[in-house]
Amino acid sequence: MKVTKENFISGPSSSSRPIHVYLSFIGDNETCRFTDSLWVALESNDLNTFWDDKKLDPGDYSIVLPRHFLRAIRKSNIAIVVFSKSYASSIWCLEELSEIAERIHEPRYTVFPIFYDVDSSEVQKQSNSFEKAFAEHEQRFTTNLRTVCNWRLAIKQVANLPGWHVQREPEPQVIDDIIKELKRKMRELVYADVDLVGM
């Protein structure tokens, strides 16, 4: 099923429901098939998910995320980052990732990487397509290399977390495993809230 902009949770419409999951990925044709299926499974299991199948204009070099993206990252309980070969080419994805990485050590926040058609070692070491993307960013942002360094650090932090490798298992099985783990995490949060009220 292809999820369209008319029926996914994004922007101001997400404010009426609590945001459980923030989904970060680059909206290319290769990745969208998987993320469409993942989003449907998340929403079908009452995991309200913020995402946007954005396609960055090659001429748009802005590194400022829209405010509703930032709010969604900060309000969510879980972030899922879908690393694909072209992920690091997107400035917005890297900015999302930097915001997500800042929350990694928060006790009520969980980040899961998914490696889609790319090996985790490529992402961790920033080799191959990631190396090429960062070389282009460093040439483009010669006066703002600190931001590029922050992007590199964010990728290392998130890519080193436990996650899933889509190419090693059938996609439906991976999605099923993701849903089970996310539901378990959400139950932990509910139980923690009950305990706090009891105290």
- Active-site positions read 96
Left, alpha or beta for 46 (phi > 0: left; psi -120 to 50: alpha)?
Answer: left
Residue at token pair 């070389």: 135
- Cα–Cα distance, 174 to 170 (Å, whole number): 6
At how many degrees (to 10) do helices 91-101 and 145-159 cross? Answer: 60
DSSP 147: H
Residue type, 162: P
- Residue 19 dihedral angles phi and psi, to the nearest 5°: -90, 115
At how many degrees (to 10) do helices 67-75 and 91-101 cross? Answer: 30
N- to C-terminal Cα distance for the chain? 45
